[in-house]
Amino acid sequence: MISWQRLPFSELTTTQLYQLIKLRVDVFVVEQTCPYPELDDKDHQTGVHHLLGYINDELVACARLLPAGISYPSVSIGRVATSMNRRGNGLGHTLIQQALSDCETLWPEESIEIGAQEHLADFYKKHGFEQTSEMYLEDDIPHIDMKLCK
């Protein structure tokens, strides 16, 4: 059973912050062999929340929930990651559903924009997102912008 926590940066414990950064680096830097600036000065911005999914004491999923104006003109979800050893059982879909629910709680009736890796377009379409841009390279990985309109 997964338990969810949604916290602003200032309420993360040092252990939670370590686990969060480790999971993101494991997925985006190591697994995808993509050196990029993981610490982009958005994590600590006012209004940003971190969604943490735990199974027992293991952080297995995370996402960053950002208010309008930080990454996009609309609310956005970013840094969506699941542990490699926990994939294949729908955890990614559960994570997105929780992120969408939390965004609705934080920012009711707001549209949500994301910058999705292009190969995940169908995954996000299952959650109501629609492609809004042509493919572009971000850190040498094909991405597209997508939006969920309310």
Residue type, 37: P
Please say if the pLDDT value at position 150 is more than 80.
no
Tell me the mean pLDDT in the region 134-141: 92
Tell me the mean pLDDT in the region 19-48: 92
Report the number of distinct structural domains present in the chain. Answer: 1
Closest CA to 48 of 7, 87, 90: 7
Q: What are the structure tokens assigned to 125, written together? A: 């379409």
Q: What are the structure tokens assigned to 19, written together? A: 């686990």
Residue type, 25: V
Q: What are the structure tokens assigned to 2, written together? A: 């997964």
What is the pLDDT, as a whole number, of residue 35? Answer: 81
DSSP letters, the chain, are --EEEEEEGGG--HHHHHHHHHHHIIIIIIITT----S--S-TTSTT-EEEEEEETTEEEEEEEEE-TTSSSSSEEEEEEEE-GGGTTSSHHHHHHHHHHHHHHHHSTT--EEEEEEGGGHHHHHTTT-EE-S--EEETTEEEEEEEE--
What is the pLDDT, as a whole number, of residue 16? Answer: 97
Q: What is the mean pLDDT of the chain?
A: 95
Summarised one tens digit per residue, pLDDT across range 52-88 is: 999 999 999 999 999 999 999 999 999 999 999 999 8
CATH code assigned at 88 = 3.40.630.30
What is the pLDDT, as a whole number, of residue 100? Answer: 98
What is the pLDDT, as a whole number, of residue 149? Answer: 82
Q: Model-level pTM greater than 0.85?
A: yes
Domain extent for 103: 3-148
Identify the band that residue 34 occupies on the pLDDT scale cut at 50, 70 and 90: confident
Summarised one tens digit per residue, pLDDT across range 104-118 is: 999 999 999 999 999
